[in-house]
Structure formats: C-alpha cells, structure tokens
Amino acid sequence: MKTLAIIPARYASTRFPGKPLIDLVGKSMIRRVYERASMGADHVLVATDDERIIEEVKSFNGNVIMTASHHTTGTNRCLEAYEKYSRESGETAEIVINVQGDEPMLNPASLRTLIHPFNNPECEMSTLVRPVTNTETLSNPNNVFVTLDQNGRALYFSRHPIPYVRGAEMEEWLNKADFYQHIGLYAFRPQALRSFASMAMGDLERAESLEQLRWLEGGRNIFCGIVNETSVSVDTPEDADVVRALLES
C-alpha cells in the first residue's frame, strides 16, 4: 500500500507560537518529525500556512505545500494538502496518515502499526492506542481514553477514563478492566478522509471536544493499533526541554 504522511504545521500556536521552528539539539522540530515520519511512510509532506515553515522545510529538501489559514482541525488541513498534492504531482496514495507536528520522538514502527489494519478491506480509518499501566496516567485530565470492542475497533473516546468501574476506587481500576490511552495519529483511505472532513460536528464531539467522535457518531468504524512505547509531544517550552534532554542522552 502506498502511504503518504502529511504533517500539519501551524506557526501561530496559541500556547507555543513558532513551535515547529524551535531548535531541538541542532534541528528544528518540524525537521525531526519529518525525518522520523520518512522512516515509516513512503512519502512525507508538510502542510502549513506560514512562509517561515515553508522556508525551513525547503532548507532540508523536504516536501511542503501551502494551505489555507482558516482550518480549525489538522484533518481538514490534511485533506486540502492531499488534494493539492494529487493535482500538482499527479500522484495518489492508498493511505493518508495525519502525523502530529509536535511529535519529534515519533517511533517509525508506530506508523507501520497504524497502517496494518488496512490489510482488512473494511478499514477506512485507523488510530493508535497504548495500554494504561499506572493510575497517574488514568487520573491525568490531559489524557484521552478509548474503549475497544473484541475486534480492536473503537467503541468510544473520552476525556474521562473509560470504562467506569462501579464500586471500586480508581486505584483499583487497573486490576479490574483494561484501559487504553489514545495516541493522536490517524490514517485514512482518501475517500474516508474526504468524508470525515465534510461531516458536521455532532453532539458527542461538541461535548468532549474530540473530532474523532463525529466519525463514530456517524456509524463508521475506527480500527485501533496497539503500541507500548510512550511518545513525548511538545505542547509547552518545558516539554521541549524534556525532548532536548532525551535527544542529548
């Protein structure tokens, strides 16, 4: 299957402006994400709305495309980038991967796990999850959780730990049920990407502020690949310092 990894990269981040261009031990963050993605996908493309990011990607001979500034989600930016890429290059992909631009420690093997469910012709969209192994992860309000059916498909995503274990303290939950944390990487067949981007926000997405819920609420399936590694995303300058320490070690 021919795979295209698209990295949405905005300069005007609310919490961390200019984040894609920060230096991480001699390389910009967008370059580190690009190089990692290149080890797991056939082709990589940065989708941005800022000339400074375009200049940076071109400086290391990466592929980059300008997209509109009005997109509210990375998924919609990916769709515009894919369609422009297809028109301008004449190339298509069987699988389009949405790679978060703030994952400089991305494991290329995770991309291969993300792609694997597409061996099933019923798979239109996939994502990644990892088992929760400690109560600290379970109680962290910044994490997103998912519960799975017996075939590895998502039943529901929530900012609250799911399933709820009735009659037990949270410290006991991991002994009574399996819990999975969601990792924000997605892969789509191109037609599914178009369908996803055209769907209206539903009540579940509005309540949880999780865009993948529009797909489930529309009756569609999300296949989940399970990985064990812990990635480090960069949301703040302090996160960047953690990544620098990991790279230097």
What pLDDT, on the 0 to 100 scale, is given for residue 203?
96
> What are the tens digits of pLDDT across the range 72-90?
777 888 999 999 999 988 9
Please tell me whether the peptide bond between 17 and the residue prior to it is cis, using omega within 30 degrees of 0. Answer: no
- Asked whether residue 22 carries a pLDDT value surpassing 90, the answer given is yes
Instruction: Please report the pLDDT score of residue 192 as a whole number.
Output: 96
What pLDDT shows up at residue 96?
Answer: 97
Cα-atom radius of gyration of the chain, to the nearest Å? 18
Query: Which pLDDT score, from 0 to 100, does residue 249 have?
Result: 84
Residue 57 has pLDDT above 80, yes or no: yes
pLDDT digits (tens, 9 = 90+) for 100-129: 888 999 999 999 999 999 999 999 999 999
Stretch among 18-22, 42-46, 55-59, 236-240 having the lowest mean pLDDT:
236-240
Q: What is the pLDDT of residue 184?
A: 86
* pLDDT recorded at residue 16: 80
pLDDT tier, 233 (very low <50, low <70, confident <90, very high otherwise) = confident
Greater confidence (14 vs 70) lies with 70
pLDDT at 38: 96
pLDDT in tens, 159-189: 999 999 999 999 999 999 999 999 989 999 9
What is 107-230's CATH superfamily? Spore Coat Polysaccharide Biosynthesis Protein SpsA; Chain A (3.90.550.10)
- Split at pLDDT 50, 70, 90, the class of 71 is confident
The reply to whether CATH 3.90.550.10 applies to domain 1-104 is yes
Q: Where in the chain is the domain with CATH 3.90.550.10?
A: 1-104, 107-230
Considering the chain, what is the average pLDDT of its residues?
93
Between 230 and 235, the higher pLDDT residue: 235
Provide the pLDDT for residue 171.
93
